[in-house]
Amino acid sequence: MLLVSANVNGIRAALRRGGLARLAATGADAIALQEVRADDEQLRTVLAENGFGDWAVAHSPAEAKGRAGVAVLTHHPVKDVRTGIAEEFEGQGRWVEADVVVDGRVVTVASAYVHTGQAGTARQAEKERFLTAVGDRVGEWAADGRLGVLTGDLNVAHTADDLKNWKGNRGKAGFLPEEQAHLDRWATEHGLVDVTRRLHGPGPGPYTWWSWRGQAFDNDSGWRIDYQLATAPLAARAVEASVGRAASYAERWSDHAPVLVEYAV
């Protein structure tokens, strides 16, 4: 099963920039999207007109138009879909999980979008609560021994290997010790494995996000904030991982790059 995760910066913008064609060209079995920024009808129309019309779609749009939104697409059967993670975050379009049936095995694929936050503010406190809710959910996965993978834009660089300018970003949202501690706990308490890091080896990088401004992309001055974190039983089946960094600035279709992982399901 080739699983691709991508923050598309708006599905219609991604279409205009050629992003959907790039995603289709990967040959993915399932695609997890973040920042879809569309309602159900808009998303299904775009997909139907661009080669994904017969794919199953699990979508959690935000009630606020033009904001957030997450989805899981697959050409395999889907057994169940869940969009709630905590009552506080209902209607925000930040979480969806689909139980995808691949050759008789059920693989839970979650797409998550975590907002950026700002150190010392109420928005940061909300981000922390969301990360706590994610931890509670993946703890449930670990308890029942499922094949599961948390994908998405977590807006947290886990270690200095995941951020080019880590010294200059100490004390800032996205590189706070309290944020990183959530990912530590998911690993130590629930057995989640960062399969990209495991298969790639030590950093720096590979980065998944670069500012549109300045020379960040050309200088590879990026952040690794997009992940595939798999439960131990699924991580053991991860055989190859890569980041779909554009060949040049002109070929970028999002400020994020897709994260691709092949699982021998």
Q: Which of 153, 162, 194, 226 is catalytic?
A: 153
User: Half-sphere exposure of residue 130, counting CA atoms within 13 Å on the CB side?
Assistant: 23
pLDDT at 141 (0 to 100): 96
The Cα–Cα gap between 182 and 150 comes to: 13
Predicted confidence (pLDDT) per residue in 6-60, tens digit: 999 999 999 999 999 999 999 999 999 999 999 999 999 999 999 899 999 999 9
Confidence of residue 265 (pLDDT cuts 50, 70, 90): confident
pLDDT at 225 (0 to 100): 98
Predicted confidence (pLDDT) per residue in 63-115, tens digit: 999 899 999 999 999 999 999 899 999 999 999 999 999 999 999 999 999 99
Please give, one letter per residue, the 3-state secondary structure of 195-234. Answer: HHHHHHCCCCCCCCECCCCCCCCCCCCCECCEEEEECHHH
**Full set of structural domains in the chain with CATH:** 2-263 (3.60.10.10)
The Cα–Cα gap between 2 and 28 comes to: 5
CB 59 within 8 A of CB 95: no
Q: Does the pLDDT of residue 162 top 90, yes or no?
A: yes
153 has catalytic annotation = yes
pLDDT at 67 (0 to 100): 92
Predicted confidence (pLDDT) per residue in 193-247, tens digit: 999 999 999 999 999 999 999 999 999 999 999 999 999 999 999 999 999 999 9
| Percent of all residues in the chain with a pLDDT value above 70, rounded to a whole number | 100
The one-letter code for the residue type at 262 is: E
CB 12 within 8 A of CB 46: yes
pLDDT (mean) for 164-181: 96
